[in-house]
Amino acid sequence: MFTGIITDVGRIERIEHRGDTRFRIGTAFDMGGVDIGASIACSGVCLTVVDKGPGWFEVDASAETLRKTRLGDWIAGSPVNLERSLKVGDEMGGHIVTGHVDGLATVVEVEPEGDSLKIVIEAPEGYARYVAAKGSVALDGVSLTVNGVEGTRFWINVIPHTQAMTTFKREAMVPGARLNFEIDVLARYVARLQEWRA
């Protein structure tokens, strides 16, 4: 369980293709306090630490994970939003994020608004109904407020702090860019209850 508040931007240091794909990620986290088997959200994908050392950790991604997320796009040097799993008693700064990515959203339009960026996004097919104005969504692991919705598209505003502390840099947010997309867990269960009532 995560909150969508990014605490480090790591870098892909090495990729090994075996039965699964192993990624080595460089990080500023104190890995002495991270156990093998711990969960870390990597650009919104909950992955298990399988090896570690000072300033790095390794995770394995299955073929299914590569299909459903943009991890298959990673190359050496790719930046990665990182968040360690939530502990009981931690501040809940964002919203409940599971790290179970629903699909890939696509950046449609980017427009500066003051110092912020207004980003218009196309939801993955079948998921637009879960997105509500003033609700929450996780994109590449970042908890963001939905400012508006129109059809299958929605828009967010990314403030300068979020641009500085995540991979949501102005130069990276371009039309066609793909983002790991996770709907708000509350929206998921509300929709499921409505299906049962129908």
Contacts 24+ apart (CB under 8 A), 106-112: 106/176, 106/177, 106/178, 106/179, 107/173, 107/174, 107/175, 107/176, 107/177, 107/178, 107/179, 108/153, 108/175, 109/175, 110/170, 110/173, 110/174, 110/175, 112/170
pTM score, two decimals? Answer: 0.92
Question: For residue 87, what pLDDT band results from cuts at 50, 70 and 90?
Answer: confident
| Residue 20 burial (10 A CB sphere; 0-12, 13-18, 19+) | middle
pLDDT digits (tens, 9 = 90+) for 48-76: 999 999 999 999 999 999 999 999 999 99
For 116, which DSSP code?
E
pLDDT digits (tens, 9 = 90+) for 130-185: 999 999 999 999 999 999 999 999 999 999 999 999 999 988 999 999 999 999 87
**Average pLDDT of the residues in 178-197:** 78
Among 107, 105, 141, 143, CA closest to 125: 105
**Average pLDDT of the residues in 115-142:** 95
Hey, which residues does 144 pair with through a beta bridge?
137
8-84 maps to CATH 2.40.30.20:
yes
The per-residue pLDDT for 192 is 64
The per-residue pLDDT for 191 is 67
pLDDT over threshold 80, residue 17: yes
pLDDT over threshold 70, residue 36: yes
How many residues are given for the chain? 198
The per-residue pLDDT for 93 is 74
Q: Domain extents for the chain? A: 8-84, 103-197
Mean pLDDT across the chain: 93
Which is more confident, 189 or 154? 154
Question: For residue 198, what pLDDT band results from cuts at 50, 70 and 90?
Answer: low
Span 103-197 CATH architecture: Beta Barrel (2.40)
Question: For residue 90, what pLDDT band results from cuts at 50, 70 and 90?
Answer: confident
The SS3 call for residue 124 is coil
